[in-house]
Amino acid sequence: MRGPHNIIRLIRTGATLERTGAMRLVLDAFEAPKALRILAHTLGWPFKWLGYKGNPDMPPATRALTALGPAYIKLGQMLSTRPDLVGEDLALQLRVLQDKLPPFSKAEAMAEVERELGLPVDQIFSEFSEPIAAASIAQVHRARLADSGKEVAVKVLRPGIERAFNKDVDAFYFAARIVDLFAPGARRLRPMEVIAHFDGVVQAELDLRLESASASEFAANTSQDEGFQLPSIQWNYSARRVMTLDWADGEALGDNDALDAAGHDRRVLGNRVLSLFLRHALRDGYFHADMHQGNLKVAANGDIIAYDFGIMGHIDEYTRRVYAEILFGFINRDYKRVAEVHFEAGYVPANRDVDEFARALRAVGEPIFGMDASQISMGRLLNYLFEVTERFGMETRTELILLQRTMVVVEGVARSLDPHINIWETAYPVVADYIKKSIGPRAVIKDLLSTAQVMARFGPRLPALVESALIAQSTAPDDRKRLTTSWLTPALAGAIVGAGLFAVLSQIL
């Protein structure tokens, strides 16, 4: 119910930040202006008593977000990868949210496994540990299969997590509606659509059968990727609220001291994380969209191991080409082409000036081109980018939200491994390879083949379609006859040529 009762939920959010001492930390991290600080404290202080107390043993920010619930924890997880945005101290506090939250009991987990799999736990597993990692939605237990002796990880959803998430998202919808009604300038950000997108992502994450399917598809796409591993799913022991997969040994990607002690080159790892993400997004259009340190390990041989596939991103071929051209234009400092791509894709309204937009993009790209990450103030850069999008009337592209969010997270992970990483140098070979394969003569042939395949599927139906069209044409008034004839001839020609082209290309390719 997205009613006014959510006002209390939103007030309680501010009150909890104030009560736990996190409000000042958050305002400092984002360098909030003095007026906003005064307003936040003025509104938060009178309602301080409404705020959740949280666990006083936790640092303020972690204490506040864990008290507020899983949706807020998700936000904290994302910010934990961005020390350049929120500062090293706050990022370190928030990193606890990735996989070190308070667990629920082993007994509850075992009861959940029995309910979902329909068998006593000791018939499935010869060993079943206490929780070894707990995150916002689920926790993980180390176990051993009774029939094969294979070591596995068992992921179990938190009791009542569906209701808790729905309550948070309900309040977010209410806040978005208020923004929509009372802040017309923010409507271009499409707050309702953004929350609806977030809601859809979360609902998928709450069904571990979908996560298992995502892991299987991701594994098929990336099986030949050097330096990358995925644990296999044990389908017989997975269900809606329980997921079993092979155990993955390795060092946590967020533990730099352990990585150094194991002899791993963090510079290589930083480049690999960023390159793998770009390759998956551009080549496959299917990528891991929750790539924070809590979901990544490093194997003894240096391979990166990814797990937790609850949030996966998908972008179509056209959008991938647009995204690649924009990246490639920035890498080559061709800001006019970057601007043109934005206009061609409809990201910027057609009544804006393309040259002026190109100059605005140059102001974004030139100050950071060739710099390593330690020299770039990402906070100032994002502020300027927001100003540019507002000035040129760019609306939020909901189909790109996961891609943009994941890019921010992955870049933050790469920075945490190598503070001096050069994003452009790392991205160039991946983007250039995609451009070469997807925007050229070979890509044209591939597109024609795909089109011909679709046309050819209508082959058996063509006689009936033609007959129906001719009958409709012969019985239609004169003006409709002319209209029908105008599209019928090229349509028939296209169908015939398409079928023939498919037959030829299938032999060549």
Cα 355 to chain center, whole Å?
32
Distance between CA atoms of 278 and 284, rounded to whole angstroms?
Answer: 10
What pLDDT does residue 495 have?
41
Evaluate whether 254 touches 222 at the Cβ level (below 8 Å): no
Q: Tell me, yes or no, whether 119 lies in a domain.
A: no
Write down the H helix ranges in 334-422.
335-344, 354-365, 378-391, 401-417
Annotated catalytic, 353?
no
Together in a domain, 301 and 371: yes
Answer with the one of 49, 71, 97 that is the final residue of a domain: 97
Evaluate whether 311 touches 205 at the Cβ level (below 8 Å): yes
Q: Tell me, yes or no, whether 109 lies in a domain.
A: no
Instruction: Give residue 388's pLDDT band: very low, low, confident or very high (50, 70, 90).
Output: confident
Evaluate whether 40 touches 14 at the Cβ level (below 8 Å): yes
Q: Tell me, yes or no, whether 236 lies in a domain.
A: no
Mean pLDDT of 226-247: 95
- Count the helices and strands in the chain (H runs, E runs): 24, 10
What pLDDT does residue 233 have?
95
Q: Tell me, yes or no, whether 234 lies in a domain.
A: no
Together in a domain, 360 and 425: yes
Together in a domain, 286 and 351: yes
Answer with the one of 73, 97, 121 that is the final residue of a domain: 97
Instruction: Give residue 21's pLDDT band: very low, low, confident or very high (50, 70, 90).
Output: confident
pLDDT > 60? residue 20:
yes
Distance between CA atoms of 281 and 393, rounded to whole angstroms?
Answer: 27
Answer with the one of 52, 67, 97 that is the final residue of a domain: 97
Together in a domain, 51 and 184: no
Together in a domain, 295 and 379: yes
Backbone angles phi, psi at 120, to 5 degrees: -60, 145
- The 3-state DSSP class for residue 299 equals coil
Together in a domain, 391 and 484: no
Mean pLDDT of 487-509: 39
Together in a domain, 319 and 463: no
Range name among 42-46, 91-95, 335-339 with the lowest pLDDT average = 42-46
Evaluate whether 51 touches 18 at the Cβ level (below 8 Å): yes
Angle between helices 60-68 and 70-79 (to 10 degrees): 140
pLDDT > 90? residue 77:
no
Instruction: Give residue 457's pLDDT band: very low, low, confident or very high (50, 70, 90).
Output: low
Q: Tell me, yes or no, whether 120 lies in a domain.
A: no
Together in a domain, 461 and 414: no
pLDDT > 80? residue 270:
yes
Distance between CA atoms of 51 and 67, rounded to whole angstroms?
Answer: 9
What pLDDT does residue 489 have?
44
Together in a domain, 433 and 447: no
What pLDDT does residue 8 have?
76
Together in a domain, 13 and 54: yes
What pLDDT does residue 507 have?
36
Burial label for 135, CB within 10 Å (0-12, 13-18, 19+), is: buried
pLDDT > 70? residue 134:
yes
Together in a domain, 92 and 185: no
Range name among 46-55, 242-251, 300-309, 423-432 with the lowest pLDDT average = 46-55
Evaluate whether 48 touches 15 at the Cβ level (below 8 Å): yes
Evaluate whether 281 touches 315 at the Cβ level (below 8 Å): yes
435: left (phi over 0), alpha (psi -120 to 50) or beta: alpha
The predicted-structure confidence for 399-424, as pLDDT tens digits, reads as follows 676 787 788 788 888 988 998 888 87
Instruction: Give residue 336's pLDDT band: very low, low, confident or very high (50, 70, 90).
Output: very high
Mean pLDDT of 194-223: 87
Mean pLDDT of 181-199: 69
Q: Tell me, yes or no, whether 145 lies in a domain.
A: no
What pLDDT does residue 497 have?
38
Q: Tell me, yes or no, whether 134 lies in a domain.
A: no
- Strands 228-229 and 304-306, sheet pairing: parallel
Together in a domain, 417 and 475: no
Evaluate whether 245 touches 231 at the Cβ level (below 8 Å): yes
pLDDT > 60? residue 485:
no
Q: Tell me, yes or no, whether 416 lies in a domain.
A: yes
Residue located via tokens 């990544």 = 296
pLDDT > 70? residue 112:
yes
- The 3-state DSSP class for residue 142 equals strand
Distance between CA atoms of 188 and 150, rounded to whole angstroms?
Answer: 52
Range name among 35-49, 105-119, 202-216, 228-242 with the lowest pLDDT average = 35-49
Per the structure, the count of domains in the chain is 4
Mean pLDDT of 115-133: 94
- 288, containing H or E segment: strand 286-288
Q: Which of the following is catalytic: 168, 170, 290, 308?
A: 290
Evaluate whether 245 touches 307 at the Cβ level (below 8 Å): yes
Backbone angles phi, psi at 125, to 5 degrees: -120, 135
Rg (CA), the chain: 26
For 301, the domain range is: 250-439
Instruction: Give residue 490's pLDDT band: very low, low, confident or very high (50, 70, 90).
Output: very low
Quote the strand ranges of 385-504, DSSP E. Answer: none
- The 3-state DSSP class for residue 162 equals helix
pLDDT > 50? residue 42:
yes
The predicted-structure confidence for 146-184, as pLDDT tens digits, reads as follows 999 999 999 999 998 888 888 888 887 887 777 677 666
- Report pTM: 0.71
The whole-chain average pLDDT of the chain stands at 79
